[in-house]
Amino acid sequence: MTAPLIGITSFEDRSRQPAPYVSLKNSYVRAVEAAGGIPVVLPVADKRQARLLIPRLDGILFSGGNDVAPWLFGQEPLPGMGSWDTLRDEWEIELCNRAWDARLPMLGICRGCQLMNVARGGTLIQDIAQSNPKAMLHNPTIPHDELCHHIEIEKGSMLSTLFGQGALLVNSLHHQAVGEPAEDFTVTARSQDGIVEALEAKDGRFALALQFHPEGLFLRYPAFLAPFKALVDAASRRAD
C-alpha cells in the first residue's frame, strides 16, 4: 500500500509582523502522520494553482480556522460573526470544488466542515448563540483535548462505522455551524440542540466533514484517530 500524500490547508498569519507566517496547528500534521499518511502543508495560494495541485494529491484535509466570509454563502454579516479572510476562503473553495470533481478523498474539520458545505452550495449559521439563545455552549474556553458534549450519530452512516451509532462525546471549539446542508451532503450527526456536527457525501465517496476536532483528541483518546485513518485508507486505495 502506497503511503498517500495528504494535503492540509493552512492560513497566512498576518499578526506575525513584519513578515506573515504560514500557520497551521501542528496536531493536524501529527494526526495524518499517525494515520500513515504523508502530510503536505498547503499554503494559501492563487486559486488558479488549485487545478495544478489537486492531481498531485491523494487526499485533502480542510483544517480549522477563521469564519467563512458571509457573502460566499449568500448572506450579509450579522452580529456575532467573527473575522474572515477572503483569500483563504476563495482558495479553499476552489480546492474543494476541484477535489470534488476529481473524487479526491476529503476530510473537513470545524471551519473545514463549514468550508466544504459552503463550497458545495450550503449555508452557515453565523453565530450559534445569536441565532438560537437556547443552544448549548459550543465554544467553552477549555483545552482542545477536553470532551464537551454528546453528538448522536446516524445509523448506517460512514461515521457510525468509525465510532459506532448513537451517542458519542466530542470536544467543541466553534461558534458557527452548518445551516442549510449542501445538496451533495447528508447530515450524519447532530448535538442535542440540533446543531450539525457531521456531514458526509450522499453518493458514498469519501467526503466527511466534522464539526468537532478529532486532531485535538487522538493523543488522549486513540479512537479519534479513526477519521484520519479512514481518509488515509481512501487516499491510498486511490493512489494504488
Cα dihedral 150→155→157→162 (10° resolution): 60
- Candidates 100, 104, 101; CA nearest to 6 is 104
Q: Answer yes or no: 215 catalytic.
A: yes
H-state helical runs in the chain: 26-34, 50-53, 86-101, 111-119, 128-131, 158-163, 226-239
DSSP 182: P
Q: Answer yes or no: 110 catalytic.
A: yes
Q: Which neighbouring-strand residues pair with 166? A: 153
Cβ proximity to Mn ion, 120 vs 138, nearer residue? 138
Give the chain's length: 240
The minimum distance between CB 195 and Mn ion, in angstroms, equals 6
Catalytic residue among 92, 94, 200, 215: 215
User: Cα dihedral sign for 82, 107, 20, 54?
Assistant: negative
The minimum distance between CB 121 and Mn ion, in angstroms, equals 23
Q: Answer yes or no: 213 catalytic.
A: yes
Catalytic residue among 110, 138, 148, 200: 110
Here the cell at position 238 is: 486511490
The minimum distance between CB 114 and Mn ion, in angstroms, equals 12
The minimum distance between CB 120 and Mn ion, in angstroms, equals 21
Instruction: Catalog residues that contact Mn ion under the rule CB under 5 A.
Output: 138, 172
In the complex, which residue's CB is closest to Mn ion? Answer: 172
The minimum distance between CB 6 and Mn ion, in angstroms, equals 25
Cβ proximity to Mn ion, 135 vs 232, nearer residue? 135
Cβ–Cβ under 8 Å, residues 62 and 107:
yes
- Candidates 176, 212, 210; CA nearest to 82 is 176
Cβ proximity to Mn ion, 12 vs 193, nearer residue? 193
CA dist., res. 115 & res. 46, Å (int): 17
Cβ proximity to Mn ion, 57 vs 115, nearer residue? 115
Cβ proximity to Mn ion, 98 vs 175, nearer residue? 175
> How many alpha carbons lie under 13 Å from residue 230 in its C-beta half-sphere?
21
User: Cα dihedral sign for 163, 168, 169, 170?
Assistant: positive
Which residues are designated catalytic?
110, 213, 215
